[in-house]
Amino acid sequence: MAFFELREYRMRPGQRENWIKYMDEVIIPFLVSKGMVVVGSFAGETEEDLWVWIRRFEDEEERERLYAAVFESEEWKTRVAPPIGAMVDGERMVVRRLVASPRSIIR
């Protein structure tokens, strides 16, 4: 059964615009090149440090395969991941797994 990951991040002070640019120009294209589906990404309208994005997986097997392809790759480890900690407060990250309701327009 398909499911979504709703990922909520909090930015370090003054880093949200840098994060948005890095996500749009580096991270999302890299994830998509490995086969991940990024449904959307959003900045908080009233919360200056909030960033939310959603990824979709067909099933747990696909998620595990794609996680391995991305996070075990040398490109992720050496080029993509190193700058993240300076922008994102990893201790405040929240990840939720969601299944679409019958009337959801995204599936």
Q: Is residue 67 part of a domain?
A: yes
Write down the pLDDT at residue 93: 97
Write down the pLDDT at residue 17: 96
Write down the pLDDT at residue 34: 97
| Structural domain span for residue 65 | 3-98
**Residue 14 DSSP SS3:** coil
Q: Is residue 55 part of a domain?
A: yes
Number of separate domains in the chain: 1
Q: Is residue 106 part of a domain?
A: no
Question: Taking the complete model, does pTM exceed 0.85, yes or no?
Answer: yes
CA dist 70 and 75 (Å) reads: 8
| Domain CATH number, residue 22 | 3.30.70.100
Write down the pLDDT at residue 107: 86
Q: Is residue 107 part of a domain?
A: no
pLDDT tens sequence for the chain (107 residues): 899 999 999 999 999 999 999 999 999 999 999 999 999 999 999 999 999 999 999 999 999 999 999 999 999 999 999 999 999 999 999 999 999 999 999 98
Q: Is residue 64 part of a domain?
A: yes
From the number of C-beta atoms within 10 Å of its C-beta (0-12, 13-18, 19+), residue 87 rates as buried
**Residue 48 DSSP SS3:** coil
Q: Is residue 43 part of a domain?
A: yes
CA dist 65 and 50 (Å) reads: 28
- The CA-atom distances, in angstroms, between 82 and each of 11, 22, 28 are 15, 12, 15
Q: Is residue 90 part of a domain?
A: yes
